[in-house]
Structures are given as C-alpha cells and as structure tokens.
C-alpha cells in the first residue's frame, strides 16, 4: 500500500479530468458528443488544437474522444509534440488522450502488461480508470519513459501516441520533421517537369504532391516499405483510405526523387 504524503499531492490549481466531468449533467455531455460527431474531421482537429492551447480541458477531452472513435491517433492532434513547456494539466490530459487511444485500438495489448494496476488503465470502467490514471501519473512525478515501460508499449504504439514516446521515437520524429520541408520541395520540383494536360492540371499535380509527401512521412514512421503498413499510417494521417498498389506506385516515384537528390550531392 502506498502512503501519500502532503508533498506528494497535486498542486491545488491542478484539476483531474474526473473532477471536470462529474459536475456536468449526462444529457449535456451527450448533446456535446452528438454535435462533435457531426463535425468535419479537419474542423475537429483544429478545434482540438485551439481548446488544448487555451486550456479548455473538458472540450479537449470530448473532442479527443471523437477523434479516437474516428481512428485519428493522438500524434496527429497537435502541431508539435515538444512538451518541454507543457503545464502539469496539459501533460495529464496528454496522458489520458494516449490512454483513450490505446483502450480503443489496442485493448488486447493488456495481455502484454505485467502489472494489474497498469492493465486496468486499458480495461477499467470510468471510476476505476481515473483512479488508476491518477496513480500512474502521480501528479506529474512519474516520467513518460517509466509509464511506457510499465505499459510495455511497442514502438509502433508509441508512434501513435502524443506523450507516451521514448527518446528514440522522439528523436526519429524530430528527424522526420527536420527533413520534411526539403523533401516536399524535392517532390514539388520533380512534379514540376511533368507535362500538364486537360485531365492533369495544377490542381491534380498539387493533390499528387500532398499524397506523395504524406506517403513519404508514413514510410519513415512505419520504418518499413510495406505498402500495407504505410497505407494504414496514411489513413490515420489523412482520413483517406488508399490501396496498397497505389502506395507501391508512389513509393517508386518517391524513391526515384530521393535517389536523384543523393546523386546530386555526392
């Protein structure tokens, strides 16, 4: 049994999500969820970013729930995943958001978790879930890497999370972000020499550019050239289903573009 001293308690201005949800009438929550369910995906993500930045925590939670239901992982809810300046409440909400995703899409992962208290983070009902969240978060004293270890998260699962990311995953993510603008311009230059026709004009070329850049990013994240793995990541990122054959076709073009760049710099 853990003994919690006064020094272990959360700051007085820190409100757990359970305390924010409990005063709201169930009918009010249901009405809000219905409105969010009818909202466009991109508007939801934009609304989440604004709510998170302005500390509207209840709205952040409700939009996060809807994004999880739609298969949008927490890593795509934010413009940046650098949390050095995140407040205690924001880190707590990030943790809850990651857990909501894991509970919905990786529920069977519970079999890989050694400790009962951490297993309940993926299976417990609301009251038990929030109690275990508070225990695991420990008023912000327990670092993300320790939670990752206790939850036995795979690298693939960490990529889908916003906060539960190990240092190697964070470093690779930063590397992808650093390369992103350069790769985008490289792909743009290659498409610039493609002949335009009545059926393939500037709008179509721009759509191809966005798709190839997204596939490149998903390729780097997946860590494999498997069209199946990349297509799954692509749908998470864009909300658009894409065939494995189309991924394979674009990969050929992307690799060709990257190879030409390497040849020019060697």
Rounded to the nearest integer, the mean pLDDT of the chain is 90
- Cβ neighbourhood burial of 203 (10 Å; 0-12, 13-18, 19+): exposed
The model's pLDDT over 92-147, given as tens digits with 9 standing for 90+, comes to 999 999 999 999 999 999 999 999 999 999 998 888 899 999 999 999 999 999 99
pLDDT, position 17: 73
Q: Is the pLDDT of residue 210 over 60?
A: yes
Please check whether residue 160 is in contact with residue 75, taking contact to mean a CB–CB distance below 8 angstroms: yes
The model's pLDDT over 30-78, given as tens digits with 9 standing for 90+, comes to 999 999 999 999 999 999 999 999 999 999 999 999 999 999 999 999 9
Split at pLDDT 50, 70, 90, the class of 21 is: confident
The CA radius of gyration of the chain, in Å to the nearest whole number, is 21
């Amino acid at each position: 049994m853990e003994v919690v001293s006064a020094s272990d308690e959360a700051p007085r201005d820190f409100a757990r999500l359970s305390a924010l949800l409990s005063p709201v009438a169930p009918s009010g929550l249901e009405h809000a969820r219905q409105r969010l369910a009818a909202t466009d995906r991109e508007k939801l993500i934009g609304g989440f970013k604004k709510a998170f930045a302005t500390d509207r925590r209840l709205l952040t939670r409700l939009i996060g729930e809807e994004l999880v239901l739609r298969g949008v992982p927490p890593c795509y809810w934010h413009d940046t995943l650098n949390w050095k300046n995140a407040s205690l409440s924001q880190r707590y909400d990030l943790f809850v958001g990651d857990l909501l995703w894991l509970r919905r899409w990786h529920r069977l992962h519970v079999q890989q978790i050694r400790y009962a208290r951490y297993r309940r983070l993926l299976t417990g009902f609301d009251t038990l879930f929030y109690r275990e969240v508070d225990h695991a978060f420990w008023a912000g004293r327990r670092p993300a890497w320790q939670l990752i270890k206790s939850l036995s998260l795979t690298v693939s699962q960490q990529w889908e999370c916003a906060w539960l990311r190990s240092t190697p995953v964070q470093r690779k993510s930063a590397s992808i972000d650093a390369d992103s603008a350069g790769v985008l311009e490289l792909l743009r230059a290659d498409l610039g020499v493609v002949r335009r026709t009545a059926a393939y004009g500037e709008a179509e070329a721009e759509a191809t550019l966005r798709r190839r850049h997204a596939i490149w990013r998903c390729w780097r994240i997946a860590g494999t050239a498997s069209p199946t793995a990349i297509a799954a990541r692509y749908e998470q990122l864009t909300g658009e289903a894409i065939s494995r054959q189309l991924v394979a076709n674009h990969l050929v073009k992307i690799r060709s573009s990257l190879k030409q760049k390497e040849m020019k710099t060697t």
